[in-house]
A and B are shown apart, each in its own frame.
Chain A
Amino acid sequence: MRRNALLGLTATILLGWTALAAQRAASAVYDSERQIRLEGVVTRVDWVNPRAFFFVDVRDGDVVANWAVEFGNPIELERNRWKRSTLRIGDIVIVDATPARDVTRQVLARSVVHKATGKRLFELPAARPRASLKLPPPRWPDGQIRLGPPAGQKGYWGAASVKGLVESKAASVRMNDEGLLMDLSEVDRVAPFQPWAKAVYLHRQRTRLKDDPIARCMPPGGPRQFMRPNGFQFIEQRELGRILVLMGGGNRNWRVIYTDGRPQGQAAEVVLSFFGNSVGRWDKDVLVVDSIGYNERFWFTNGGLPHTEALHLVERFSRPNLDILRYEVTVDDPRTYTRPWTGGWTVQWVPGEEIEEYFCEENAESTFIR
């Protein structure tokens, strides 16, 4: 009960801060059971993706200590009309924040107030549901669905409707923005785990995803590439018989789906990789992609579902209207799961915008925190 309450609190704190958790699990870094208030002078502003920081000198008697304050993802902040110049070196601010779990002088800001004016800074408004006109999906001249923008326009695929992959028949399993289960007793509804896989998944959950390879800037292979905060886009090179998937987050990775009719490779012979060997074909309005050849160096979803080199994915992409991409994936890894299982989600179209530069390496290491 207490654990559920704490997880609920964590989820509340993290609500609206999805992008903050872009490269590492905030739950692993910050201790949501504690809150502190800092007041000090801004000495530096790092307005960089994926996580913006400013630094404040906090005086305690004759001692001055420099603290790092994480306060959001610049892309999200800019969308909400905050700018790098909103905060200036020399400003005095009052910060209510969640401190780091370790002794590092690092906090995750819950609110930042400009002391001189009393103005609250960097407050993200609650997400507003977008009105959908339910325009038909764009099509190529031959009638095939376009996965990118309508001709002459721009846009990309943005937020996923879920934060973790769960077997469809489980209906809903409650988890936070990082894929942490609200209630670990629901683990058996997530996927049909083999015993070792369930134990590994629970270990990752209990340790708050602290060993997530994505925190070391490893690529988000598998379904995870479609649930990252900064979206993705499809570049359909029909004349070359391939579709490129360009990812907005992480390391701006790209993946190739071959649609030139080539057969899938032999599992024992393909070079193992983060994005696997993918061949796709159109089944009426659905792109069906078969992928094998994954290495074991990544977690294929938020939340830490395990897999082995035997992972075989069948993904189905459809676009019922302009604004929605429906993604469904069947996971077949007999070394990890007792049977194949299917899950999925929808992704929202972001019209008229381009994916922004966003490099995991920018401030992935903690050594820049003094």
Chain B
Amino acid sequence: MSEHIVPVRVYIAVFLVLLAGTALTVAAAFYDFPWQLNTIVALTIATAKATFVVLYFMHVRYSVRLVWVIVASALFWMAIMFALTFSDYRTRKWDGRLGMIYSPGCSVVSRTSIMRRQDGQFKRIVASDVLIGASQKGQAPLISL
């Protein structure tokens, strides 16, 4: 048997680290950090906790190289999914044609999106829809993005 048996003290140490991480992340959440640091701190602690679980509880630290490749592939595909999705969402308002007609009183929604109106109905909007604030009809504007 060449299997590596993780000693009990390592399991206990990881357990205590995870509990400490939980206490830390709760305490940090109530402290008002500048900018987006609250989210970054929370995610850093969560990632550290997850890393401990993966390396020790899930034995990846002692596993064959192929397991490392599989774990890395999960992170790689996640990165692709986030990067491609946000490269779309984050650049939708860059359309020059839309920029020119963007003015107060008009709302333009980039390309196509589904909007929920005040009355609860859904409406599909395409780039050519220039929504002059519906206030003429005495209604609230359709869009609140």
Do A and B pair up? The answer is: no
